Structure 1
Amino acid sequence: AVVMAILLPFSGSLTDRFGPQRVYIVGIAAYGLAIFPAFALFGTENLLLFGVAMVAVFGVIHALFYGAQGTLYASLYPTEIRYTGLSVVYQFSGIYASGVTPLILTALIGATGGSPWLACGYLVATSAISVVATAAIRKRDLHL
């Protein structure tokens, strides 16, 4: 959490320089690429490697895309409906995406007898979908 708090302003700076769409895509793609190696490090039973994986994914990579996320999402709506549009998207995604993800991951891990690799595949797939969907946003769709 401390690493993320330190890096969020850096992500904001990158967002200002390169645009929220680019920074978000890079962050989500990095997340997708880090999933399998991070889970592999979890299985080493080495607390140092486990800590490195946690800081890399949740401190560095999450800060990168999270710092751009608010600006990207807000820019999808004109100012007169921005607050409502952003709130609806945020709340519904919390229910239908973030809310059920732990259940899906638990079911996938249970279905494979405790192996996390199918769950990792699910997370990589959601990352790939996010990259494609974000890349499909056109400049004319943004209200910056």
Structure 2
Amino acid sequence: MTTPLSYHAYHLALLQSLYDTLRAQSALLEQVPEESNELFMERFNELLEQLEQGDHDSLYLGQDILCQIISRYPQIAHLIPRDLLWYFGGDCLHFMPDEEIAQYQLLDEHRADAEARGEAFDWQQARQLIQSN
């Protein structure tokens, strides 16, 4: 049995995957000037580095980057994992319907309860259970 990733590590892995996907989709990003794409990807990489170092103050940068993906590259906005919109919160929540927000609020309550009991919480498994109901 594998140990579930921490809440932070799980979302960091999703963010890294999104970064890799965007890099691989460079042909789709051509509608924005190349130098603008380079600067955007540099900022995205900085976000990854900050989060890897445990800098949770970078959550605002994450909100900005996800919102920019949606506005700059709408053709690939569907590639953003919904979990990342919830994780970064703020303006990202505007892209989530109320029902979905309610599901994530319930997940956060379950996570807080598990942490209060000193138990490990598998975010991904819990999300799948709630979404299947």
Same fold per TM (> 0.5)? no
**TM-score, normalized by length of structure 1?**
0.34
**TM-score, normalized by length of structure 2?**
0.36
